[in-house]
Structure 1
Amino acid sequence: MAGINNVGQSGLSYIDQLKSLQENKKQSEVTGKQDLKQEDFLSLLTKQLAQQDPFKPVSNEQMIAQMASFATVDGIGKMNNQFESLNSSMTSNQALQASSLVGRDVLVPGAAGVKAAEGGMPAMVKLPQSVDNLMVRIENEMGQLISSFDVGPQLAGDTRVEWDGKDENGNALPAGKYKVKASGLLEGESTEFPVSTYANVNSVLLGKGDGNVLLNLAGFESPVRLAEVLEVGKA
């Protein structure tokens, strides 16, 4: 006979056996078996107490430590389940709130924007510091320059610019995707600045169990995460 921390020939402690059973159950999840529960713990504990050496019984400290170990593992498991439930609930709430964005314009990072059939296309340029002369270039999807204009001196921060939707000769261009690029002189060197563009929200969908809410934007092939939205236009 052996104590809980010295189980005869097996050489396995109670906690070792508990971990071993837990691992075996996890490996056989395909059979429909669940993880160890409190009943399994009590069953193992009872067997260990029945087999312990009466001349070397387990001490109160060891008993409390083993019970505390199980309680900690069990508590962590329950906490993980609660977090998963909370995450699912928060994702659903986000999707419900994001549904109000359908039909509205949102500002997202990236130089590629979508021009409607009528009018031009706005964009936002982020300047790390003031510039004396901000230049904006408009390119088509092939990267060909179709228009450019001078915005003039601008202060540091977000600067809204708007292309009128026409080429260099004043001809209105068709609807489609265009790129907005901005540059200026910083400390005597020509520098490209980050640009964000506006797009209309077509629909809202949930991510693949990762807690993300995605927006399908008009003219965009891939959805954009709600967390990436920088600004929401007026309804």
Structure 2
Amino acid sequence: MSIDVTSYLNATSSTTTSSSDSSSEVDYNDYLTLLATELQYQDPTEPMDNTEMINQLTSYSQLEQLTYMSDQLDTLTESIESVTSTAGLDYLGKEVLAVGSSVVVDGGDVTSLGYILGDDAEYVTLNIYDSSGNIVDTTTLGETESGEHVFQWDGQDEDGNAVDDGTYYVAVSAYDSDDASITSSTTASGTVVAVTQSSSGVILTLDDGREVNMLNVATTTASSDS
């Protein structure tokens, strides 16, 4: 009598999967038991091929090791996410300055946006985009010194019409007298009122509704209300 171990394992796994999720996997010990049974009842005139047996043993051993490693990595990932989320709670109620490009329009009120120039600029262009990526307005500034600045959009499109409430995004481009590009970045600031975990990391929600990634926080200070 000869047992096809691979076929038996596949059939067993398929059957147990449909009957119970908790016992749906055939592990390495199950395989060894089936292999011993095959060796016990194999036909002496047609013994099991040694090379095939070794290959199967190696495959199942590697599979079990990879499964174990995967489980350990999942556990480690969950632990890291838990620790990171807990660290994010420390930002609640604090004012943060973070890398960000969004502004919020709410009932005619528009949040300000900070921008930083790496060098003196001959002119600066700020394009405002809606959530669909369409340019709704463009502001051009003249000579601007290097360092930190604040941009306050009026909440109107290029035709002078008030835009709908929502979140908009600002892209800054700066150039020197030779029309060479100057390094620039934008920042968002506000008091953290909520902390959530997402696929991109820990997200901090500011009091004006904007969201920034915790990894992008540059500075933190105690809230003036605390």
How would you bin the TM-score normalised by the shorter chain? Answer: 0.5 to 0.7
In 2, Cα distance between equivalents of 1:68 and 1:192: 55
16-25 or 104-113: bigger deviation: 16-25
Give the alignment's TM-score, normalised by structure 1: 0.62
Post-superposition shift, 1:121? Answer: 4.3
- Tell me whether 1:93 sits opposite 2:68 in the alignment: no
Match of 2:161?
none
- Number of residues of Structure 1 aligned to a counterpart in Structure 2: 202
Letter paired with 1:94? T
Post-superposition shift, 1:104? Answer: 2.6
Find the partner of 1:133 among 118, 122, 125. Answer: 122
Over the aligned positions, Cα root-mean-square deviation in angstroms equals: 4.2
The SS at the match of 1:232 is strand
Find the partner of 1:198 among 181, 189, 192. Answer: 189
Q: Is the 8 A contact 1:214 1:224 kept in 2?
A: yes
Find the partner of 1:233 among 215, 220, 224. Answer: 220
The SS at the match of 1:132 is coil
Find the partner of 1:112 among 103, 108, 126. Answer: 103
Find the partner of 1:83 among 42, 52, 73. Answer: 73
Post-superposition shift, 1:107? Answer: 0.8
Q: Is the 8 A contact 2:102 2:167 kept in 1?
A: no
The SS at the match of 2:75 is helix
Give the alignment's TM-score, normalised by structure 2: 0.64
- Could you report, residue by residue, the CA deviation over 1:139-186 in whole angstroms, capped at 9, with x for unpaired residues? 7x99568x97656243xxxx42135899xxxxxxxxx98865544336
The SS at the match of 1:78 is helix
Provide the identity percentage: 18
Distance 1:233 1:192, change over 3 A: same
Post-superposition shift, 1:15? Answer: 3.0
Post-superposition shift, 1:23? Answer: 4.7
In 2, Cα distance between equivalents of 1:107 and 1:133: 26
Match of 1:124?
115
In 2, Cα distance between equivalents of 1:24 and 1:152: 72
The SS at the match of 1:73 is helix
Distance 1:179 1:68, change over 3 A: closer
Q: Is the 8 A contact 1:126 1:195 kept in 2?
A: no
Match of 1:171?
none
Distance 1:143 1:111, change over 3 A: same
- Could you report, residue by residue, the CA deviation over 1:188-230 in whole angstroms, capped at 9, with x for unpaired residues? 48999653322332122233xx583232222226x54434x25
Match of 2:12?
21
Matching of residues 1-235 of structure 1 within 5 Å: 1-2=1-2, 13-26=4-17, 28=18, 32-102=22-92, 103-112=94-103, 121=112, 123-125=114-116, 130=119, 132-135=121-124, 150=142, 152-154=144-146, 159-163=147-151, 182-185=172-175, 188=179, 195-207=186-198, 210=199, 212-220=201-209, 223-227=211-215, 229-235=216-222
- Could you report, residue by residue, the CA deviation over 1:108-133 in whole angstroms, capped at 9, with x for unpaired residues? 32142699xxxx94513365xx5532
- Could you report, residue by residue, the CA deviation over 1:49-90 in whole angstroms, capped at 9, with x for unpaired residues? 233221232355443332221111111111111111111100
Give ranges in structure 2 of 5+ residues lacking alignment: 155-165
The SS at the match of 1:152 is coil
